Every structure is written in C-alpha cells, then in structure tokens.
Amino acid sequence: MWGWVMRTTRQLSITLPNEMADALKERVASGEYASESEVIRDGLRALFARDEAVQLWLRTEVVAAYDELRADPSTAVGAQDVRAHLARLHAHRRSQTA
C-alpha cells in the first residue's frame, strides 16, 4: 500500500542585511549552532515566545488594569502628572551620573 508522507519542513530563501548574515555565520562558525537553519529556528522560537508572553500580559494584566480603571475612573493618572513624574525620574538619574 502506498502512503503519502507529508514533509514537516519547508525550504525558504531569505535575504538578510549583511550584519545579520555575518552574525548568523559567526554563530555557526563558533560551534554554538550546527547550521544556519538552527540559528533561524532558535530566533523564531524566541520571537514566538516573546509574542506569546506579550499576548498573555495583554490578556491578564492590561485587561485587569483597564477593568479597574473603568470601574473607578478616579484612580486614573493624568498625562501631565505622568510627564512630571518621568521628568523627575530623568532629572534624578542624570544627577546620579553627573
């Protein structure tokens, strides 16, 4: 009986900026990765994990904060207060490095 076997990989052709291509080749040359494909797969896994973490953060913390704000708008902080707070933080950090 003949069965069809589906491929689990697909070959792609990509174009990278020189700096990225050089960094990719350096990782393979160092022995950190066995092939350029492994570097790309690892990078995509990291990208997908980051995207998943952002989605989880949006669904949990951001939605909860939004719901709290809708329930009690008096807890909101105005844009001017945020700017003033950030300016104070910036000034403090600059004074620490001066």
pLDDT tens, 32-82?
Answer: 999 999 999 999 999 999 999 999 999 999 999 999 999 999 989 999 999
Task: Establish if 44 belongs to a structural domain.
Answer: yes
Task: Establish if 3 belongs to a structural domain.
Answer: no
Task: Establish if 4 belongs to a structural domain.
Answer: no
Task: Establish if 40 belongs to a structural domain.
Answer: yes
What mean pLDDT comes out for the span 85-97? 93
CA end-to-end span of the chain: 78
Whole-model pTM: value is: 0.65
Query: Is the pLDDT at 1 greater than 60, yes or no?
Result: no
Determine the structural domain holding residue 33 and report its residue range.
18-97
Task: Establish if 13 belongs to a structural domain.
Answer: no
Task: Establish if 9 belongs to a structural domain.
Answer: no
Task: Establish if 49 belongs to a structural domain.
Answer: yes
The total domain count for the chain is 1
Query: Is the pLDDT at 90 greater than 80, yes or no?
Result: yes
Task: Establish if 90 belongs to a structural domain.
Answer: yes
Say how many CA atoms lie within 13 Å of 36 toward its Cβ: 13
